Amino acid sequence: MAERTHVTLQDVARAAAVSPATASRVLNGTAKVRDDLRERVQDAAGRLAYAPNAHAQALAGASRPTVGVICHDVSDPYFAVIARGIMRVAGDNGLLVMLASTFRDADREVAYVSMLRAQRAPAILLIGSGFEDKTWERSLAAELGPYLRGGGRVAVVSRHRSLRVDSVLPENRAGAAALANALLEMGHRRFAVLAGPRALTTVADRIAGFRSALAGAGVPLSEEDIVECGFTRDGGYAGMSSLIDRGMRATCVFAVTDVMAIGALTALRDKGLSVPGDVSVAGFDDIPIVRDLTPPLTTVALPLEQLGEQAMELALRENSGRRSRIVRVEGRVVIRESTGRVRS
Amino acid sequence: MAERTHVTLQDVARAAAVSPATASRVLNGTAKVRDDLRERVQDAAGRLAYAPNAHAQALAGASRPTVGVICHDVSDPYFAVIARGIMRVAGDNGLLVMLASTFRDADREVAYVSMLRAQRAPAILLIGSGFEDKTWERSLAAELGPYLRGGGRVAVVSRHRSLRVDSVLPENRAGAAALANALLEMGHRRFAVLAGPRALTTVADRIAGFRSALAGAGVPLSEEDIVECGFTRDGGYAGMSSLIDRGMRATCVFAVTDVMAIGALTALRDKGLSVPGDVSVAGFDDIPIVRDLTPPLTTVALPLEQLGEQAMELALRENSGRRSRIVRVEGRVVIRESTGRVRS
DNA sequence: CCTGGAATAGAAAGCGCTTTCAGAAAGCGC
DNA sequence: GCGCTTTCTGAAAGCGCTTTCTATTCCAGG
């Protein structure tokens, strides 16, 4: 019952009757070693179930290729799909990926970045809109800055630009505007919006785009038409419910994310309203599940997996210039059955 | 543009004109240090944006509390919810959690375990059914065994028992049997099953339980009634489609996971069949989204978040005995609108 | 004013590994 | 067989940190 007693390279070397240097060379294939010695080392390593100490390896110069990805919640399909894109590219480049969820807790986010920095991870990817919270951004920047200066790579997806790092940014404004125009074309004139926290830049941008397109058609969107609710399925459910309860007059509801739209659809069903008969619903993101809803959701399709791929590639490719790179990604309006023409 | 040049404790110590030992004591609060020295150190550390090298710290004895969780695919809601449970308990105990997806690739799984082992992570959690693949299990055991002997903690959720480690096991058989009985009671006598890979113990157990309950009522379930398809939404879609195309006679379809049931529901809709009018559909797991489907899915509810919590707690609490601990978790049949009585 | 003991700072060892560096062995042409 | 280059192995340094262990300082009591 040996507690915390690890087999070291020394042990292997001793068992194989060679020097640690030779053992290291064999185990890493760093240099040619005489056949019999090599076999003795491999044998000993196997017999002793030797596992190199990554900390010692890292300290001695060899870097272990594990990149870190930090998001708000891995159980949100939006992140999950992006993460998959990241992992694809990482895998192609022989990198392992580890994910962390912050649950929108600034301290936890900083803790993860700090840990990744301390571990000398070759790259850190941040997914998801940050609050426009100066303190938050500052403490994050305080970690990220030195990390970058130390040779680390950072890329973010869909985060506010105040962090001056390479980023992949969805065209939230334009996408929401295009959606608004499509809905206008169907004859809708009275809208309601299920918004997540307005402080989230993603939310703010989508609302702004939506509103400006409406304004272009002379259709107003007042603050009362916007319900600020949780950025989740339950938030969408609650928001939609309260909208119905206070006598909604809108013919179309825009939920700023698909996840929220899902909650909205269920709320409507529970209240006995039909979609799109009584009210049309549209979302944003095009997460995979929305195709399986009844009715399938009209939304703005973001190439989510690509967002992740681009971010990983950004982190992989060295930035030669001094400015941070920005990749803009467009959304595409996808009309499905959750929206319909307004009966005249 | 200093490349890969990190600020070390030495630098801080020098800047503060103290010894590295003192700097270490200040930064870790390990011992009392004279006020003016302490301030000088803290000042220097801040000014230089010092970040300790986790590798060096770990090597010198201080351990960083980051547990690793390995699953097949974080974008599968089943894992995502379990992972959340794990993170809750981990968070309560001051541990950070990092997730990895293997995409059912044995090599990748071993690579992650090996990495975690090399990093001397205090605990490793494995989620998800493993194939009954001797080679796979053996190479995994080869990593895990020494890790455990070295003081590491391991817990698995829903994996075959051949790995002799602490585990949380859903009662797949009993759950599936209970579901079958409920369906029988609704008058169903002809069933089809959408099965994932049969080599997966989870799949095998659920089918076995389902079948035995049917057998108890004198209802046969032949091999032709079982469609083996991918363990995903698309697999369920494809399986259901082929079932329909070859003239299904069943009045009720049991998909061994909710995710597959989702695909099945959409396939049925695409083929113009109504649920539960033409055919009833039931799943297993009760992932959150199934409540938002139309119709909501009848399923066997597993307390997914609890599975994760239990596993984390298992890994946290030292196992004093010599046998591996097993926590069994029951499922509960939840009847929703995707199943109906058979018209007589 | 001196001694003993309690605080506190610094020196140094060592965690496990990689990697130069130098030395030993081996191969070659003369 | 001698001096030369070419392999290959082992000795040793050092990565950045924690932690004993030792040396100093400081104060109380005599």
Residue position matching structure tokens 């046969």:
B220
Nearest residue (CA) to C1' of D7: A32
Is residue A1's pLDDT more than 80?
Answer: no
Give the closest nucleotide to A31 (alpha carbon vs C1'): D8
Residue B258 within a domain: yes
Q: Which of B73, B115, B145 sits opposite A54 (nearest CB)?
A: B115
A131 vs A150, residue with greater confidence = A150
Residue A187: which pLDDT band, with cuts at 50, 70 and 90?
very high
Query: Are A245 and A272 in the same domain?
Result: yes
User: Measured from the CB, is A266 under 7 Å from any atom of strand C?
Assistant: no
Query: Which among B264, B281, B301 is the end of a domain?
Result: B301
Domain residues for the domain of A119 are 66-170+305-329
Last residue of a domain, one of A267, A286, A303: A303
pLDDT at A228: 95
Q: Is the pLDDT of residue A3 over 50?
A: no
Residues 85-144 of A with CB under 7 A from strand D: none
Q: How confident is the model over B76-96, as a mean pLDDT? A: 94
Residues of chain B with pLDDT > 70, as a percent, come to 97
- Chain-centroid distance, C-alpha B313: 15
State whether A192 and A115 are in the same domain. Answer: no
A30 touches strand C (CB under 7 A): yes
- What mean pLDDT, rounded, does chain A reach? 91
In chain B, the N- to C-terminal Cα span, in Å, equals 80
Distance CA B101, CA A68 (A): 13
Q: Are B113 and B70 in contact (CB under 8 A)?
A: yes
Average pLDDT over residues A231-258: 95
Q: By three-state DSSP, how is residue B197 classified? A: coil
In a domain, B253, yes or no: yes
Q: Based on the domain organization, do A190 and A288 belong to the same domain?
A: yes
Tallying the residues shown for chain A, one arrives at 344
- The reply to whether A2 falls in a domain is no
If asked whether residues A124 and A27 sit together in one domain, one would say no
Dist. CA B276–CA B343, nearest whole Å: 11
Amino acid A91 CA to nucleotide D16 C1' distance, rounded Å: 30
Question: What span, in angstroms and rounded, lies between the C-alpha atoms of A22 and A35?
Answer: 12
pLDDT at B133 over 80: no
Q: Are residues B269 and B179 in the same domain?
A: yes
Whether B35 sits with its Cβ under 7 A from any strand C atom: the answer reads no
- Are A149 and A257 in a shared domain? no
Nearest nucleotide to A24, CA against C1' atoms = C18
Mean pLDDT score, B330-343:
95
Does residue B195 lie within any of the structural domains?
yes
Mark yes or no for CB contact B51/A145 under 8 Å.
no
- Which of A97, A145, A150 is facing B4, going by the closest CB pair? A150
Q: Confirm if A229 and A245 have CB atoms less than 8 A apart.
A: no
Highest average pLDDT, of A129-133, B22-26, B331-335, comes from: B331-335
Asked if residue A54 is part of any domain, the answer here is yes
Give me the A residues in range 32-91 that sit within 7 A (CB) of strand D: 32-34, 37, 56, 59-61
Q: How far apart are CA B291 and CA A281, in angstroms?
A: 18
Q: Strand C: which bases are under 7 Å from protein Cβ? A: 7-12, 14-20
Tell me the C-alpha distance between A300 and A172, whole Å: 9
Residues B83 and B122 in one domain: yes
Looking at the structure, tell me whether residues B181 and B218 fall in a common domain: yes
Report the CATH number at residue A298.
3.40.50.2300
Report, as an integer, the average pLDDT of B219-238: 94
Q: How long, in residues, is chain B?
A: 344
Same domain assignment for residues B269 and B176: yes
Q: Is residue A341 part of a domain?
A: no
The total of structural domains in chain A comes to 3
pLDDT at B132 over 70: no
* Co-location of A99 and A21 in the same domain: no
Give the range among A187-201, B48-62, B224-238 with minimum mean pLDDT: B48-62
* Per-residue pLDDT, B260: 97
Which of the 8 DSSP states describes residue A129?
A: P
C-alpha–C-alpha distance, residues A122 and A307, integer Å: 20
pLDDT above 90 for B344: no
Contact A59 B64 (CB under 8 A): no
Report the alpha-carbon distance of residue A139 to residue B192 in Å, rounded.
Answer: 56
Is B292's CB within 8 Å of A100's CB?
Answer: no
For chain B, counts of helices (H) and of strands (E): 12, 12
A5 has a pLDDT exceeding 50: yes
Q: Comparing A183-187, A304-308, A315-319, which segment has the lowest mean pLDDT?
A: A315-319
Q: What is the mean pLDDT of residues A316-330?
A: 88
Whether residue B163 sits in one domain with residue B110 = yes
pLDDT tens digits for range A119-142? 889 999 999 876 667 788 888 888
Residue A47 maps to which CATH number? 1.10.260.40
Nearest one of B44, B2, B47, B4 to B24, comparing CA atoms: B44
Residue B254, domain member (yes or no): yes
Same domain, yes or no, for B105 and B226? no
pLDDT at B311 over 60: yes
Nearest chain A residue to B146 by CA distance is A49
